[in-house]
Homo-oligomer: A and B are copies of this chain.
Amino acid sequence: MTEKSLTLQLDFHSGLPIYTQIVNQIQSQLANGILKPGDQLPTVRALASELRVNFNTVARAYRMLDEVRIISTQQGRGTFITEKPPPEVSEKLRHESLTALTHRFISEAFRLGFSEREVGQMVRDSLKSWKEANDKDDEQESNQENEK
């Protein structure tokens, strides 16, 4: 079984509960096609082991996603992305996932004591250099960053 490794990056100091981070990131990955309808997610225990958290924390995240019909959890079988995410929800989800990601980023930056101006400037600069790098070599494909 090709279980999605589901590369999630948790920040244990961010102040956001682990389960919220898991929910957000799975939503993001679905909204952007990294996860697709029908995909099987890792089992609660497998993902928990990978993330070094208790499997009930993952189960809680899965349950939240299940409640909004984004995934379908089936006892004894596994957890799957729902087949038909309502199309109008899809774009909304995508937008929300970027909102959540950005929110996390800005919140963290402010927590670190940076000003609005500094953050805005840094984002502009970074986006610009990123774009330049991508112009020469447009390969979104191999953008799977590896972690240990």
Interface residues of A in 100-114 (CB under 8 A from B): 101-114
Interchain residue pairs with CB less than 8 A apart (26): A12-B77, A15-B72, A15-B74, A15-B77, A34-B111, A72-B111, A82-B112, A84-B112, A84-B113, A94-B114, A97-B112, A98-B118, A98-B119, A101-B105, A102-B105, A102-B109, A102-B119, A102-B126, A103-B126, A110-B130, A111-B143, A111-B144, A113-B140, A116-B127, A116-B130, A120-B124
- The complex is assembled from copies of this chain, and their number is 2
Q: Is the Cβ of A116 less than 8 Å from the Cβ of B131? A: yes
Distance of A103 Cα from B125 Cα, bound (Å) = 10
Distance of A127 Cα from B121 Cα, bound (Å) = 11
Q: Is the Cβ of A143 less than 8 Å from the Cβ of B110? A: yes
